[in-house]
Amino acid sequence: MKGTAIILLVLGTPLVQAATPGEILASYRAEATRVSPGYRPSVAQGAHLYGRQFGVSEKMPACSGCHTARPSQPGRHVVTDKAIKPLAPTANAERFTDPAKVEKWFRRNCTEVVGRECSAAEKADFMTFVMEGR
Ligand code: HEC
């Protein structure tokens, strides 16, 4: 029941809801498991998604292009050159605390870089890697 509540929180209430990175990660893992029961969390898959040169967008080939090779480091927007705070919650306590914000940026950046929305499993694994705080 708790998992269901968190999924509802992530998928859609218009209210601004605070959550912890652990709760948001748990809801993506729950969704990934619901979609494919054999799903196993993978840091390696997350690291792969984070660093892979998709080459779908010429300007934005990889997540690491803006977020740098290490999630604990501050980044820079490859197009606008604006500073981006570190993605790792260990370096930036605001990260992964607002489910709507997390969804919005996953949608926008995956569409741009990967050429489609990321699956729940991809989001979960990406977060698992980023939360390691390397
Ligand atoms: C063109 C630059 C750029 C690229 C490439 C990029 N991002 Fe981002 N990302 C941003 C910006 C800008 C923000 C929002 C500003 C901020 O929160 O610092 C952001 C925020 C995020 C957030 C919000 C986290 C939170 O809780 O604050 C997530 C998740 C994220 N990006 C994931 C990804 C993933 C996954 C990829 C690759 C598929 C990716 N990003 C590629 C620029 C980029």
pLDDT digits (tens, 9 = 90+) for 78-124: 999 999 999 999 999 999 999 999 999 999 999 999 999 999 999 99
Has residue 14 got a pLDDT over 80?
no
Query: pLDDT-based confidence at 16, cuts 50/70/90?
Result: low
Ligand 1 in reach of 46 Cβ (< 6 A): no
Report in angstroms the alpha-carbon separations of 65 from 57, 76, 131.
11, 8, 18
Ligand 1 centroid, distance to 98 Cα (angstroms): 14
What average pLDDT is seen over the chain? 92
* Nearest residue to 130 (alpha-carbon basis) of 72, 68, 44: 72
Ligand 1 in reach of 2 Cβ (< 6 A): no
The pLDDT assigned to 86 comes to: 98
